[in-house]
Amino acid sequence: MTPALEVEQMHKRYGALRVLAGIDLKIEPGEFFALLGPNGAGKTTLINIMAGLTRATSGRARVMGYDVVSHYREARRMLGVVPQELVFDPFFTVRETLVIQSGYYGLKNNGAWIEEIIHHLDLSDKADTNMRALSGGMKRRVLVAQALVHKPPVIVLDEPTAGVDVELRQGLWRFIKQLNREGHTIVLTTHYLEEAEALCSRVAMMKQGNVVALDSVRNLISSVSGCSVRLRLSPDTLPPALQSLMSSREEGCYILTLAEYSQIEQVMAALRKAALQVLEMQVLQPDLEEVFIRIMGTHKIRQPGTLPI
């Protein structure tokens, strides 16, 4: 099957600054995919190259099999991008903005779909309001609507929930999940890792222009062995034997980090021996955030010329 998005040996430099250092990535149709990484990792640059907003220094990118340079018209029809920056055209109303955007894609009589998007994104009340008069969250919704106006099979959202309230976030994801169920491929970037964990099947983690991890959320999480244990004790003292496991104290609880689940037995034995009463005990599974922190902390950036991961 033709991948929804395919990037091969993508390099991008701005003068001496190396922003993308040979990215290889393949995203299959129907995936819900997250591109994660700290600020400046190169996520937006990669998206912009796929969208034709930025030119690669070398490498290729294809959307639904269409090269973004040599077949840019087809590639752009296949792609809807919600940009990171909150941009808008102050001359027009919400509906005008959407009708015009739809026209750029050569679509006539697209009114029914435009009304549907307006409805789904809760923009009905504001449809005839000038863009200038909208709040930030509303402008963000219009950007989402603009990206969907030509029903692209591949939808890329670059930090769509940055600075957006919880209600809108939930509404937005409900709609995007529905689109994903209907077969659209979704790629998103976000700094909310719990969001990526809840929504996405696969993630790529980027650091300084490299993909440093690429796997399903489940595999990434299970790659982090062990767990954490949260304990509230009476009296409130940790036996000396357990001191070395303690990683932090939180609100009167001790957090212990265990390399393996089997260590729980040792912990229990030590507590019994010290005759401490356990008031509260929680075993915490590692989450995507923990994986992210470990990968970003430990990963050494490979030098140019070495093999990709």
Partner 1 sequence: MTGFLTLLYKELLRFWKVGFQTVFAPMVSTLLYLLIFSHVLEEHVQAYPGVAYTVFLVPGLVMMAMLQNAFANSSSSLIQSKITGNLIFILLSPLSYREIFFAYVTASVVRGLAVGLGVYLVTLVFFDVPLSSFLWVLMFALMGSALLGAIGVIAGIWAEKFDQLAAFQNFVILPLTFLSGVFYTIPSLPPFWQGLSHLNPFFYMIDGFRYGFFHASDISPYFSLGIVAACFVAVSWLTLQMLKRGYKIRH
- When binding is defined by CB under 8 A, the residue of 9, 29, 59, 100 that contacts partner 1 is 100
Query: Per CB under 8 A, does 104 bind partner 1?
Result: yes
User: In angstroms, rounded to a whole number, what is the distance separating the alpha carbons of residues 76 and 74?
Assistant: 5
3-state secondary structure 197-260: HHHCCEEEEEECCEEEEEEEHHHHHHHCCCEEEEEEEECCCCCHHHHHHEEEEECCEEEEEECC
Query: Which of 102, 107, 117, 99 shows the shortest CA–CA distance to 178?
Result: 117
**Cβ at position 58, least distance to partner 1 in Å:** 15
Binding segment (CB under 8 A) for partner 1, from list 31-39, 74-82, 209-217, 236-244: 74-82
DSSP state of 130: B
For Mg ion, how many residues bind (rule: CB under 5 A)?
A: 3
Query: Per CB under 5 A, does 48 bind Mg ion?
Result: no
Query: Which of 181, 190, 176, 220 shows the shortest CA–CA distance to 80?
Result: 176
40 binds, among partner 1, ligand ADP, Mg ion, none (CB under 5 to 8 A by kind): ligand ADP
Residues sharing a CB contact under 8 Å with residue 137, sequence separation 6 or more, in sequence order: 164, 165, 168
Which amino acid does the sequence have at 53?
A: L
Nearest residue to Mg ion by CB is: 44
* Range 80-119, binding Mg ion (CB under 5 A): 84
**Cβ at position 84, least distance to Mg ion in Å:** 5
For ligand ADP, how many residues bind (rule: CB under 6 A)?
A: 11
Residue that has been written with the tokens 């994660």 in this structure: 36
Query: Per CB under 8 A, does 137 bind partner 1?
Result: no
DSSP state of 83: -
Binding segment (CB under 8 A) for partner 1, from list 91-99, 210-218, 221-229, 271-279: 91-99
- When binding is defined by CB under 6 A, the residue of 16, 39, 112, 300 that contacts ligand ADP is 39
Query: Per CB under 6 A, does 180 bind ligand ADP?
Result: no
Tokens describing residue 29: 């149709």
Element (H, E) at 12: strand 5-14
Helix (H, G, I), strand (E, B) or coil at 195: helix
List of residues contacting ligand ADP (CB under 6 A): 14, 17, 19, 37, 39-45
Task: List residues binding partner 1 (CB under 8 A).
Answer: 14, 48, 51-55, 72-74, 76-77, 79, 81, 83, 85, 87-92, 96, 100-101, 103-108, 146
Residues that bind Mg ion (CB under 5 A): 43-44, 84
